[in-house]
Each structure stands twice: as C-alpha cells, then as structure tokens.
Amino acid sequence: MLTKRIIPCLDIKDGRTVKGINFVNLIDAGDPVELARQYADQNADELVFLDISATEQKRKTLADLVLKVAAALDIPFTVGGGISSVEDVAILLQNGADKVSINSAAVKNPALINACAQQFGSQCIVVAIDAKQIEGQWKVHLVGGKVPTELDLFEWAKEVAERGAGEILFTSMDHDGTKEGFANSALAQLSAAVNIPIIASGGAGKMDHFVDTFTHGKADAALAASIFHFGEISIPELKEQLKQQQLAIRI
C-alpha cells in the first residue's frame, strides 16, 4: 500500500510566502527558504512552491529561489507558477526541483503535457487544476483562479492523465482557506476517473479533515498552507493521528 503524503504548500509572491482565502486577501507568512527548512525538519513528505504572481521577469527570481531551497532540503519539492514551455521546466529541474506543476499553460496548450512527460518523465509532471462549482458543475479556472473556463473538471483530469501527467493537484476554490474540510466528493470522483495520484488541496482546518480526505476523498496526498505556516497543526502530531487511524503514513 502506498503511504499517504502530507505536503505543505508555499504560495510565493515577490519572493515571500503568502496566504489568502478563496485566492484573495493575501497576508505575509514568512521566508520561503526558512519555512522549507522547518518543514523538512518536521518530517513533511514533500513541499510545493507556487509562484502565484509569475511573470517572465519573476521566472528568473523563482529559478534562483529554487536553487536556494534545494540546498536547504532533503525531501522532494514541486515548483509551479508561470511555467509555459519545456525550457521553463528544464530550468527548474536543473536548479533542483524534483517536479514541476503546470496549470494555465496546460489548458491553453495541452500538448505541453505530452512534451514534458516525454522529455522528463511523467514522474516529474504534476498538472494543477483549480476548479469551483458553477450551477452544480465543477469548472476549471485559470490564472490563479481569476479566469473561468467551460472545461469540466473530470473530463480535463482524464485528458491530463492520458497525456502523461504523473499526478493531479486539485484545488477546490470553494474550499480554499475556509478551514472547513476538503472537497471530498469531488476528490473521490476524480480518484475513480483516473489512475494517477490525486493531491487534495483547499479546505484543511483540523486533523480530522486529513483523515476524511484520505478515507472518503480517496486522496493520495493532502496539501495545506496556513494551518502549517501559523502553527495551528504540527506535522508530527498530524502524522501520529493518521497512523492511529490505520492509515499508511511515513513517520
């Protein structure tokens, strides 16, 4: 049985870690390199870094930041934000990222998934999907959740898997920052629709939410930000509780 993973997420803006609610009202949450080091010490399974305001100019900044983080870490980390070409992926992997996350660029140019998987291997390619419910239908959103599309979450997830993505990072925009639990029914439907790992994102507020997303949501990994950044939940205590619930977890 594959172990369930706990993944802190660092949203990066202008070189700092930030956190908001429903993708807005951002507040500063600290230095990303220092936070990364702390999470490695706390036995996080992986880290995700998302440059939420990526532009061409910030691409270089993020690559430099990746280099610093790689020097401070001994656990896998994924980098995303503004990645739109095979060359962008190559730079980040060369600078020490273990995986890259592509989102808007994958929707605009789905063949990018194929090209990246072919060149670097599916294990390096995470496709992030931000979605919210509109009239009862889960619709994919782009550009940090600002641009709605007509794409159905589940159909897009199937296409992503067929094109060679190694994992899907699904963020429910409706649940993001609310601390009321993950979108478990959508996660379970996603898990049934594809045969690649699903990372749950959006809504973590207490330890039971992680238990629920691994059991009811069938998620393979759970990602959270503010509850870890601000010390509301400690990763070692969370892992101990998950173990007590008979979930496979790396202690």
The CATH number that applies at residue 175 is 3.20.20.70
Structure pTM?
0.92
Active site residue 31: no
140 inside domain: yes
pLDDT band, residue 178 (cuts 50/70/90)? confident
In a domain, 135, yes or no: yes
DSSP 8-class letter at 3: P
Q: How far apart are the first and last CA of the chain?
A: 15
Residue 23: pLDDT band with limits 50, 70, 90:
very low
Highest-scoring range by mean pLDDT, 43-47, 142-146, 230-234 = 43-47
Residue recorded with tokens 């619709």: 139
Q: What is the pLDDT of residue 128?
A: 95
Banded model confidence at residue 25, pLDDT cuts 50, 70, 90: low
- Looking at the chain, list the stretches that DSSP marks H as alpha helix, in order from N- to C-terminal side: 32-41, 56-72, 86-94, 104-108, 111-120, 153-162, 184-193, 207-215, 226-229, 235-244
| SS3 category, 241 | helix
In whole angstroms, how far apart are CA 238 and each of 7, 53, 204, 211?
A: 12, 31, 12, 9
User: Cα-atom radius of gyration of the chain, to the nearest Å?
Assistant: 16
- Paired with 249 in beta bridges are 4
- Whether residue 72 is predicted with pLDDT greater than 60 in this model: the reply is yes
pLDDT(164) > 60: yes
Q: What is the DSSP letter of 124?
A: G
Residue 160 pLDDT: 98
Amino acid at 109: N
Q: Give the HSE-up count for residue 93: Cα atoms under 13 Å, Cβ half-sphere.
A: 19
Across 130-148, average pLDDT: 89
Q: Does residue 19 lie within any of the structural domains?
A: yes
The two tokens of residue 186 are 């959508």
In angstroms, how far apart are the furthest CA atoms of the chain?
A: 47
Report the pLDDT averaged over residues 65-70: 89
Comparing CA positions, the residue from 167, 221, 219, 157 lying closest to residue 188 is 219
Q: Which of 11, 51, 88, 176 is catalytic?
A: 11
Mean pLDDT of the chain: 89
Tens digit of each residue's pLDDT (9 = 90 or more) over 184-225: 999 999 999 999 999 999 999 999 999 999 999 999 999 998
CA distance 73 to 55: 25
- Give the per-residue pLDDT at 77: 93
Please report whether residue 249 resides in a domain. Answer: no
pLDDT tens-digit profile of 202-213?
A: 999 999 999 999
Confidence band of 143 (pLDDT split at 50, 70, 90): confident
CB 10 within 8 A of CB 50: yes
Q: In which domain, by residue range, is 155 found?
A: 5-244
Per-residue pLDDT at 59: 63
| 60 confidence band (pLDDT: 50, 70, 90) | low
Catalytic residue among 45, 51, 88, 130: 130
Specify whether 41 is catalytic. Answer: no
What is the model's pLDDT at position 28?
60
Specify if 48 maps to a domain. Answer: yes
- The answer to whether residue 17 is domain-embedded is yes
* Total number of domains constituting the chain: 1
**Domain annotation covers residue 43:** yes
Whether residue 251 lies inside any domain: the answer is no
